[in-house]
Structure 1
């Protein structure tokens, strides 16, 4: 029975890449054997070879802190995701409520500046729930308990009173 390698090919050739024998790809130990230096500053100096740049943390302490931070990142639990979805839905309904409520309000002034300021305040009120949710989500990435606390505070503070109380309350 023949192996199919009658041309004298080596079976290990299938496991190699073209250019594996390139001397510029030698590791530090192999470079020392060939007479080349592993780095221009000398081995163990902590300096990268000439022409190289360090990416990531520059010191071992920073590298360990970055690795620890990456290891402590925990995936968001199912309960947290469902809660965020519920809060997102509440804030979406609040935005819609403020939009409908702002459309019902009659502008009480005839001065151009006062009218502009009143309209600006109405549209900022419409945008407030969406902005509150986005900013809370962004600023409390590392503190999930604080995130839910601030989202709950926003649910209480941003109730669309103009929608709930009906038109004609502001006169």
Structure 2
């Protein structure tokens, strides 16, 4: 029976190179009596793959165990921000939704006041300030995300909640969508 791409749907992915345990190292690594014993069998990763997950920081790039003096926690993660949890992701979505709704609120409220406000300022100045007000919540959200990338979680959310409080679309609240 031929084993090719045609029979791929019938296999369980046994020929996947990421599942290949590779060749076993024949020579055992000598350890000092004070160090914990290295496993008798070491796994060599296929070329181009890197170890991830629990215990991966103790492996070098080729999959061989690293000496204890070579191990450090600094290269365990390449990026400087930890992975997002579910609560953080949902909270960021809610606060991002507030930013979008605030931008729409500034647009609706500003357009409702356009005729009245153009008696006080030049039409060009009013248009510039209207679009700056519409973009302010979105720029605030994006700026806080970028500038607080490596900071603690409470700092990021303090700035985001501060933006929600500071950038309330007052023209929409005061005039509303129905009243004049």
Trace 1:1-20 onto structure 2 (pairs within 5 A). Answer: none
User: Is the 8 Å Cα contact of residues 107 and 118 (structure 1) preserved in structure 2?
Assistant: no
CA deviation profile, 1:27-53 (whole Å, cap 9, x unmatched): xxxxxxxxxxxxxxxxxxxxxxxxxxx
Please, which runs of 5 or more residues in structure 2 have no aligned partner?
1-21, 23-71
Please, which runs of 5 or more residues in structure 1 have no aligned partner?
1-14, 16-63
User: Is the 8 Å Cα contact of residues 102 and 123 (structure 1) preserved in structure 2?
Assistant: no
- Whose radius of gyration is greater, 1 or 2? 1
Distance 1:83 1:95 in 2: 18
CA deviation profile, 1:43-70 (whole Å, cap 9, x unmatched): xxxxxxxxxxxxxxxxxxxxx7862663
CA deviation profile, 1:104-153 (whole Å, cap 9, x unmatched): 11254469x82211221111001101111011111111113211111000
2:98 aligned residue (64, 67, 90): 90
Q: Give TM-score scaled by structure 2 length.
A: 0.51
In structure 2, the residue matched to 1:161 is: 170
Distance 2:92 2:155 in 1: 13
Trace 1:55-70 onto structure 2 (pairs within 5 A). Answer: 67=75, 70=78
Comparing 125-134 and 69-78, the one that deviates more: 69-78
Q: Which has the higher contact order (CA 8 A, sep 6+)?
A: 1
In structure 1, the residue matched to 2:31 is: none
Q: Across the two proteins, how many residue pairs are aligned to each other?
A: 104
1:149 aligns with 2:161: no
RMSD: 2.7
Distance 1:92 1:72 in 2: 28
1:121 aligns with 2:99: no
CA deviation profile, 1:59-115 (whole Å, cap 9, x unmatched): xxxxx786266387421111111110110111111011111111111254469x822
Q: Give TM-score scaled by structure 1 length.
A: 0.53
